[in-house]
A and B are shown apart, each in its own frame.
Chain A
Amino acid sequence: MEENRHIISVLLENESGALSRVAGLFSARGYNIETLTVAPTDDPSLSRMTIVTTGSESVIEQITKQLNKLIEVVKVLNLADRNHIERELMMVKVRATGDLRDEVKRLAEIFRGRIIDVTESIYIIELTGECSKLDAFVETLKVTEILELVRSGVSGIARGESSLSLNGHKSKKSN
C-alpha cells in the first residue's frame, strides 16, 4: 500500500500526562513519528500539537481514530486533507571564515535566513519555512562546515475559515 506523508493537528487538554499518552500510542501501535511539536495555545488550558507521520490511508485513519480515543484529546484534524500552511524553524551554526564568510552570508540571504549570532569564525543562521526549503538550505551549506543544527519540527495550520478550535466546526470529536 502506498505510504504518504501526513500532517496531523491535535488540540488537547494542557495536562501533564497528555504528551506521554500520545507518544505511548505511537510507539505501542508501531506508528512512526517524523516530527512532533507541542505548546499551549491562546487558551492556556489547551495545547496544540502537530505530528508529521507517514503511512498508508488505513494506518492514517487508525492514527486519527486512536488519537481521538485518548481522553485528553479534544479534536484531531488531518491537514494533509486540506489546503494548509506548514512552517518549521531551524537554527544552524556554521564555520564562517575566510572566503566562506561572504559566501555563507549570501546563501543565507538567498534563502531569506537571518544571521542571529556572529563571532570571528562562526555564524548562527535562523531560517523558517517548509521542510523542503530547510532541507535545501542545509544542502547548500555543505560548502562549509555545519557545527550544530537544530530544527523545531513542523507546525501547521489550515487556510481560510476552517479552524481547529474549541468552537471550530470541523472534525467533531467522537469516542
Chain B
Amino acid sequence: MELTGADILVRCLRDEGVKYIFGYPGGAALHIYDALYRQDEVRHILVRHEQGASHAADGYARVTGEPGVVLVTSGPGVTNTITGIATAYMDSIPMVVISGQVPSHLIGDDAFQEVDALGVSRPCVKHNFLVRDVNDLALTIKKAFYIANSGKPGPVMVDIPKDVTAALAEYHYPETVSMRSYNPTLRGHSGQIKKAAKLLLSAKRPIIYTGGGVTTAGGEQELRSLVRRLDYPCTNTLMGLGCFPANDPLFIGMLGMHGTYEANMAMHDCDVMLAVGARFDDRITGDLNKFAPYAKIIHVDIDPASIGKNVKVEVPIVGDAKLVLADLVATIEKLKLEPNYDALKAWWNQINSWRSVDSLSYDRNSSKIKPQYVLEKLYEVTNGEAFVTSDVGQHQMWAAQFYRFDTPRRWVNSGGLGTMGFGLPAAMGVHLAYPESDVVCVTGEASIIMCIQELSTCKQYDIPIKIINLNNRYMGMVRQWQEFFYDRRYSHSYMDALPDFVALAKSFGHDGVRIDDPADVEGALRETMKRKKDLVFMDFITDQEENVYPMIAAGSGHNEMHLSPKAESEEPAPQERELA
C-alpha cells in the first residue's frame, strides 16, 4: 500500500525506535503534523521555541546515547534551531533534525518562509540532506540516523519540501545501510597500540587525560581497568566528567582553565600523556607553546582530524575509545609490562603535595550564600545520583567542580559552544529519558532567562525538574573576567531589572522558593528534592562577587594559575624540579 511522505516519515521514526520528538509546527510541516496526529507510538513534545526543541533533543541524546529528534517548520523554524544544532555539533552529540521546506517548485523563489536550510545549517551539522523524491525518503532517514550516531557523532538535518510529504510511495524501511564514502574506523591499529603500551609503561611521570569520547564510546569500564591496573593519575575534561569516578583516589580532578591545581600541574610536568577521546581544546591547553613541555603524547580518537590538530603526537591511534582501551589493557598483559613503581611513587608524592593546596577551597564562614556550598549540599542531598544539567557561566564551573560525578552521562552541559539557555530545555529531555530520576538544572539568573519560555512546556507535560538558580545578580563569568583583566570595569555585565523568579515560576503554574540565608540552604534542598511531582524554582541569592578558582587566563601555561586567596596561602614555593 502506498503511503504519503508524511506517514512514511513517521513510520521511519517509529521503526528507528524513536520515542520522543521535540518540535513546533508551521505551514511546511503541517502534513507531517497531520501524520503524527494519526498515531500514538512516537510522542511529540511541543516546546515553546525551536531553540528549546534542539536543546531538549540534545539533553535526551546526552543521557541515552541515542539521537535526539527535532521537527520544525521551514524558515524561522529552522533558523531558531541553529543555536541548538551548533551546540550539539561542538560537543559531538547525535541528533536528527527534520525540517519542513517550501514546496519543491517554489524553492529558490524567495517563497514565504523559505530559507536555504542546507546552507544555513551546513557549517554546524555533520551532514544534511534535501529529500527531492518521496521514494528516497526512507533511505535518507535511515542514513541520517546512521551518520548521526556512528563515528564521531553529530547532528544531521533532513530538509523535506512540503510536496514530498504529500506524495505517495511504498513504505520500506531498510534494516541496515552502507555507504561507500563513509566507513568510520573503530579498531585501533595493533602495531600502534603496542607502541603506545610500551611508551605508556616507560613513563616516570604519566598522566591519563580523557574526555567526552570515552563517554560516547561507553568506554568507562575499560578506562577504569586501565587506570587501576597502572595506578596512574587520571584527569577528565569538562565533557568527560563521570567517565572516571570523581571519588576514586586516582582521580585528580578536572583539568584546564578552571581545573584543579594538581591536574594542571601534573599535565605540565608529565613525561608521557595518554589522551583518550579528548580534543586538546584551547580551554585545556592554554598557550600551546607552554603546554606539557616534557610530554610524549599518545592520542586515541575516532576522528583522525582531531589527532595532531593542536599538538604534536608521538603515537596516534585512530579508533573507538572503548575498543582501543580494551586492546591496550590486553596488550599490556600480553607483553607483561609493569609500571616503574619507584618513579610512580615519587610522582604521586609530588601530586599529593599539589593536592594539599586544596585549590577548590572557599570561605566557609561567610554570612552570604556561597555558590560552592549550594552545590556541595546538592551533591549530598541527592547522594550524587541526580542528573545535572547546567547553563553557562560561573555556576557551570562550580557544578563541574563540586558535584562529584561517578558515572558518565549524568552531567549535561554545553562545553564547546558554551550556550546560555541550554540548561532548562536540556533538563526536559533528560527527564523524559529517565522519568524516575532526579533531574536538576543548575543555572544563573542571566542564562535561565534565555529559554525561560520552556517552563510552559514543563507545565504541559508535568516535567518536575528542579531549577537551582545561583542568583548573583551578575553575568558572573563576564564580571570575573572584567575584574581580572579590565580593572573592574563592569561593562554591561550587571543584571538590572531582574524578575521575581518565584512569582515567575508560579505564573507558569509551578512553585518557587527564595533562599538567602546559608543556614537555610540544606533544609530547602532536602524539602525540594522530596517533591517528586513538582517543578520547583529555587532562587538562591548568592555572594555577588565570588570568583571561580583556580583559573588559567587564556594564553597562559598550566603552571601559571590564579589561585583563590585561601589556596594561595597553601601554595608550595616553586621548587627547582629536574624534569626531562
Q: What residues of chain A have their CB less than 8 Å away from a CB belonging to chain B?
A: 12-13, 17, 20-21, 24, 28, 58, 61-62, 65-66, 68-69, 71-74, 166, 173-175
Contact = CB atoms under 8 A, between A and B. Distances in A.
Nearest to A66: B305
Given A68-B305, A71-B182, A175-B183, 5 more contacts: A17-B128, A24-B122, A69-B305, A71-B127, A175-B304
B308 A61 contact: yes
B61 to A, nearest CB: 19
28 contacts: A13-B181, A17-B118, A17-B122, A17-B130, A20-B119, A20-B122, A21-B122, A58-B308, A61-B308, A62-B305, A65-B304, A68-B305, A69-B304, A69-B305, A71-B127, A71-B147, A71-B179, A71-B182, A73-B181, A74-B181, A166-B180, A174-B183, A174-B318, A175-B182, A175-B184, A175-B185, A175-B302, A175-B303
B151 interface: yes
A71 B126 contact: yes
Contact of A173 (B118, B123, B127, B181): B181
A13 B303 CA distance: 21
Nearest to A13: B181
B181 A65 contact: no
A24 B309 CA distance: 19
Nearest to A72: B181
Contacts of B308: 58, 61
Contacts, number: 51
Contact of B303 (A21, A28, A69): A69
Query: Which of A13, A20, A62, A65 has the most chain B CB within a 10 Å cutoff?
Result: A65
B55 interface: no
Interface of B: 118-119, 122-123, 126-128, 130, 147, 151-152, 179-185, 302-305, 308-309, 318
A116 B305 CA distance: 47
Contacts of A58: 308
A62 B303 CA distance: 11
A21 B123 CA distance: 9
Contacts of B302: 175
Nearest to A74: B181
Contacts of A73: 181
Given A20-B119, A71-B147, A71-B181, A174 B130 contact: no
Contacts of A21: 122
A24 to B, nearest CB: 5
Nearest to A24: B122
Nearest to B181: A74
A168 to B, nearest CB: 13
A97 B498 CA distance: 80
A174 B320 CA distance: 13
A62 B309 contact: yes
A173 B183 contact: yes
Contacts of B122: 17, 20-21, 24
